Amino acid sequence: MDNSYTSYPISDRSFIAYAKREIHLSAAKARFDETRIAEIDIIVSEMCSNLVKHGNGGEMLMRITRYNDELDLLELLCVDSGQGFDDAAKVMRDGFSTTQTLGHGLGSIARLSDTFQIFSRGGWGTILYSCKFSGRITDHLRQKIDIKAVCVPKLSETVCGDGYDVKSHGSNLQILFGDGLGHGQAAYDAIEEARAMFRATDEEDPSQMLRALHNALRKSRGMVCTIASLNMKQNEWSICGVGNIMTRVYNGITYKNHMPHNGVIGMNIPKVLNNSLVQAEKNQRLIMCSDGIRSGWDLSKYPSILRYDNAVIAATIYKDFSRKTDDTSVLIASIN
């Protein structure tokens, strides 16, 4: 199950038709009906148009994933480093325009999306996030743990060697976040093998799960990996990692880094692996990044960012700190 985003660079209007066609075909292959596909077409057109007019180019990210095994979910992220703005409420009003157009674009996107958010700062750029479900989303389908990730393959690669998976086991929710060595098909194959092993095991202890992955991946390219397990009865995270995955837990604007063990899953790991225990709290955010993200990011530098969807926060880190020379991934989990 590939849960990475496809990137569509939008440097001028000639790229809009291509992005719209590819996303239309992807939605048609999923479980979206004709009405929702038509609405998706409008959303894509308006988001891409905004990239061209206001973003000095940029990129659209798109993916379709399964939501609670009952619906398909299409997510769109537009990321640019254009002029940006400081008053989102003003630009969202129908009729507001800085380019002599009708000014209905952002309003149309918001009305047609199941979820729509916009984060922007003057002189920094803008992130637009739109998601669309294949059917009606009801309260019993909404997930108690909000997990969003931005995984993007290296430019010129068709598959992403970074990846993650999430599963529930009893009162535990478990997250696997890994980075296959290098990039391309061999790295992707290592991640897929790790996902299959992760899904098949009933092990709840992250350190023991990493040992099982190590034995299973000996013939693969190898990977670095962190596993986080949330015990929902005890409200406690148990975290263990091997290799250069950055893991950070935010409580408000303060945070604590959790250091992984040295080694490579499938090649060499320490004899002793210890779990880190962290008290879980509402609105706390667990953030993991692959080495495709440069270090040095700090959410406190983005005013009000913690009020936004985890997808927007992940895209913000991706926008400013992606190396663009490797697969890039950011995962954020929070308790609703």
Mean pLDDT (the chain) is 90
pLDDT tens profile 82-111: 888 877 666 666 554 554 443 457 888 999
In a 3-state reduction of DSSP, which class is residue 190? helix
Whether the per-residue pLDDT at 140 is higher than 80: the answer is no
What is the C-alpha radius of gyration for the chain, rounded to an integer number of angstroms? 20
pLDDT tens profile 182-210: 999 999 999 999 999 999 998 999 999 99
pLDDT at 94: 59
For residues 310 and 336, is the Cβ–Cβ distance under 8 A?
A: no
Whether the per-residue pLDDT at 26 is higher than 50: the answer is yes
List the alpha helices (DSSP H) in 55-147: 88-92, 105-112
**Predicted confidence band at 270 (pLDDT cuts at 50, 70, 90)?**
very high
For residues 74 and 41, is the Cβ–Cβ distance under 8 A?
A: no
Which helix (H) or strand (E) segment holds residue 331: the answer is strand 328-335
Q: Which has more confidence, 15 or 151? A: 151
* Cα–Cα dist 118/96, whole Å: 15
Quick one: average pLDDT of 15-24? 94
% of the chain residues with pLDDT over 70: 92
pLDDT at 102: 39
- 3-state DSSP percent of the chain in helix, strand and coil, to 5: 30, 35, 35
DSSP at 170: T
CB atoms under 10 Å from CB of 297, counted, come to 18
Whether the per-residue pLDDT at 175 is higher than 70: the answer is yes
Among 8-17, 240-249, 307-316, the range scoring the smallest mean pLDDT is 8-17
Nearest C-alpha neighbor of 80 from the set 129, 34, 37, 36: 129
**Predicted confidence band at 65 (pLDDT cuts at 50, 70, 90)?**
very high
% of the chain residues with pLDDT over 90: 73
CB atoms under 10 Å from CB of 144, counted, come to 8
* Cα–Cα dist 12/49, whole Å: 9
Among 155-159, 234-238, 261-265, the range scoring the smallest mean pLDDT is 155-159
In a 3-state reduction of DSSP, which class is residue 228? strand
- pTM equals 0.92
**Predicted confidence band at 241 (pLDDT cuts at 50, 70, 90)?**
very high
pLDDT at 141: 46
Whether the per-residue pLDDT at 214 is higher than 70: the answer is yes
Whether the per-residue pLDDT at 44 is higher than 90: the answer is yes
Residue the block writes with tokens 């992984």: 260
Q: Which has more confidence, 62 or 70? A: 62
For residues 249 and 256, is the Cβ–Cβ distance under 8 A?
A: yes
326 φ, ψ (degrees, to nearest 5) = -155, 170
Whether the per-residue pLDDT at 226 is higher than 90: the answer is yes
Between the alpha carbon of residue 260 and those of residues 42, 134, 277, 288, 296, the distances in Å are: 44, 38, 13, 11, 17
The token duo for 122 is 């003057």
**Predicted confidence band at 283 (pLDDT cuts at 50, 70, 90)?**
confident
pLDDT at 68: 77
In a 3-state reduction of DSSP, which class is residue 262? coil
What the chain holds in terms of domains, given with CATH numbers, is: 6-133 (3.30.565.10), 143-335 (3.60.40.10)
pLDDT at 1: 57
* Cα–Cα dist 67/72, whole Å: 6
Whether the per-residue pLDDT at 112 is higher than 50: the answer is yes
pLDDT at 47: 93
